[in-house]
């Protein structure tokens, strides 16, 4: 084989039966990593961020406001996350992008202007609103007050950049944007979703995700309430969930590509890697305090993680959950069991209460008692059903 000539580096075959390459290497920068660096904003990388409203923002030349990027562990390559501050009585520059996006209003009030091939519309928003930006619709945000407004923007930009490879293919694509019947329209009834029959609301705007009513779901915990939101294309799943006071959720196995924003109430999220099993050691666990404004991903290192949520507040603990839609690994029409009602080692995602570490039950009872909150977990919650036995 040739050797280095004139400073050029050549590949060499391994000697004997040694494996090729190196055994340890560093992950290269993704198209999303390069995009964030070129935008000139700081990127905050972590398991969790304690309060979105306290992250420092910098001038964002492209949009005309101030901003910061967030890259939570487990969401890299799946979900883009950024904070956008709109100046008092100001507006952002218009842009469009060939990816799905939802926006959560953290502070302030104002309006959004959307322009598509079939027209223009304007809708208003306030703190606690959640709204969608139709794919490739030209849009800008307008602040109606004399104080800055702060928005959390969540999108599928990393995945789209990976597929298309070029920034201009995402932000300057001529593909026509259509403003469908949900664009800019508020919450309008609940229907069963076409796959599992769960509660679904097709909406472009939810005026108040913090206080809106959620239907009974019972899947993540006893008396749990949940609502799926049909706000974007099929590549992003958006939902609201609420654990009732004095309850805690079943541990569930989570795929990479998910983030959770706490909207109200408080408690704790505990996570551990799948390899640690159903009864992990304390050393394997990551504990994240939950309160309004906290955003959480998964633990560092990739792979699947168990996540379990505990409500310690006297009122419900509500979350916004956003994730990339998992890739289907089964033929269309084949039968699947509901992951949140099936055990993780039987093709589902949960550790049933009756199979969890008994110390969890005792620890929760102590935690709520110390806060003067009634423990609403019941003996029957810890008994297997006839289907489980």
Residue 234: pLDDT band by 50, 70, 90 thresholds?
Answer: confident
Determine the Cα–Cα distance for residues 272 and 283; give it in Å rounded to an integer.
9
Taking 80 as the threshold, does the pLDDT of residue 4 lie above it? no
Tokens 């218009």: give the residue: 94
Residue 65: pLDDT band by 50, 70, 90 thresholds?
Answer: very high
Determine the Cα–Cα distance for residues 204 and 196; give it in Å rounded to an integer.
22
At residue 182, the pLDDT reads: 61
Determine the Cα–Cα distance for residues 187 and 210; give it in Å rounded to an integer.
14
Task: Give me the mean pLDDT over the 354-379 stretch.
Answer: 96
Domains belonging to the chain, first-starting first, are 41-171 (2.60.120.10), 191-326+338-378 (2.60.120.10)
Tokens 């406001």: give the residue: 65
pTM exceeds 0.85 for this model: yes
Computed over every residue of the chain, the mean pLDDT equals: 91
Who has greater pLDDT, 48 or 28? 48
Helices 157-164, 31-39: crossing angle, 10 deg rounding? 110
């Amino acid at each position: 084989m040739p050797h280095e000539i004139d400073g050029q580096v050549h590949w060499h075959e391994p000697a004997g039966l040694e494996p090729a390459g190196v055994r340890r290497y560093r992950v290269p920068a993704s198209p999303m990593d390069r995009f964030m660096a070129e935008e000139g904003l700081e990127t905050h990388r972590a398991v969790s961020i304690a309060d979105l409203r306290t992250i420092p923002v910098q001038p964002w030349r492209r949009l005309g406001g101030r901003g910061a990027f967030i890259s939570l562990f487990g969401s890299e390559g799946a979900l883009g996350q950024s904070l956008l501050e709109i100046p008092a009585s100001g507006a952002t520059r218009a842009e469009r992008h060939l990816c799905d996006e939802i926006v959560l209003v953290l502070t302030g009030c104002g309006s959004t202007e959307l322009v598509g091939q079939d027209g223009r519309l304007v809708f208003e928003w306030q703190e606690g609103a959640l709204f969608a930006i139709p794919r490739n619709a030209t849009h800008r945000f307008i602040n109606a007050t004399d104080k800055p407004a702060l928005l959390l923007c969540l999108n599928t930009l990393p995945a789209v950049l990976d597929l298309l490879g070029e920034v201009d293919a995402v932000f300057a694509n001529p593909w026509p944007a259509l403003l469908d019947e949900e664009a800019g329209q508020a919450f309008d009834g609940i229907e069963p979703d076409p796959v599992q029959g769960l509660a679904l609301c097709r909406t472009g705007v939810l005026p108040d995700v913090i206080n809106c009513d959620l239907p009974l779901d019972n899947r993540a915990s006893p008396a749990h309430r949940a609502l799926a939101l049909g706000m974007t294309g099929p590549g992003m799943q958006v939902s609201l969930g609420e654990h009732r006071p004095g309850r805690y959720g079943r541990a569930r196995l989570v795929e990479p590509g998910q983030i959770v924003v706490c909207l109200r109430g408080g408690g704790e999220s505990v996570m551990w890697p799948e390899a640690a099993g159903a009864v992990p050691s304390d050393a394997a666990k990551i504990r994240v305090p939950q309160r309004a404004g906290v955003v959480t991903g998964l633990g560092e290192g990739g792979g699947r993680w168990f996540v379990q949520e505990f409500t310690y507040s006297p009122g419900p603990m509500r979350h916004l959950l956003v994730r990339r839609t998992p890739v289907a690994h089964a033929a269309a029409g084949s039968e699947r069991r509901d992951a949140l009602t099936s055990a993780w080692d039987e093709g589902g995602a949960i550790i049933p209460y009756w199979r969890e570490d008994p110390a969890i039950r005792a620890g929760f009872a102590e935690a709520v008692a110390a806060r003067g909150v009634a423990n609403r977990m019941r003996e029957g919650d810890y008994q297997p059903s006839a289907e489980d036995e």
